[in-house]
Amino acid sequence: MQKKPYRIRVAPWSAVRLVTHGDACTRAAALQDKRFLARDAPALPLKGCTLASACNCMYKHYVDRRTGPRRDEEVTGRRMAKAPVAKAPVERRSARGRRGSD
């Protein structure tokens, strides 16, 4: 019986960012601040890397590709005031219907 190949499960929005240690090629330096979806990240060493034999590049993993706060509450640290609760609607129907049989 043949074993199934080992596969790493990746969340749909997990991301990676290139991190360099020591000397880095110009391409790695250019991509250093960009986040990629984990499934779309380029393979290491990068194509055209001038330091491929001594490449020290790594990926730092993130749960989500998005960066920074996304809501005002996360920026200011204060919760927004909630909207006032609407009063119950006034019943405008009379007890008797429009038809004569009501």
Domain definitions of the chain by residue range: 15-63
Residues 17 and 60 sit within 8 Å (Cβ to Cβ): yes
60: left (phi over 0), alpha (psi -120 to 50) or beta: beta
Q: Hey, which residues does 62 pair with through a beta bridge?
A: 15
Tokens of 75: 């920026």
Residue 38: phi and psi, rounded to 5, are: -55, -40
pLDDT tens over the chain, length 102 residues: 566 665 556 677 888 889 988 888 888 888 888 888 888 899 888 888 888 788 888 999 888 767 666 676 666 767 777 777 778 888 777 667 777 676
Length of the chain counted residue by residue: 102
48: left (phi over 0), alpha (psi -120 to 50) or beta: left
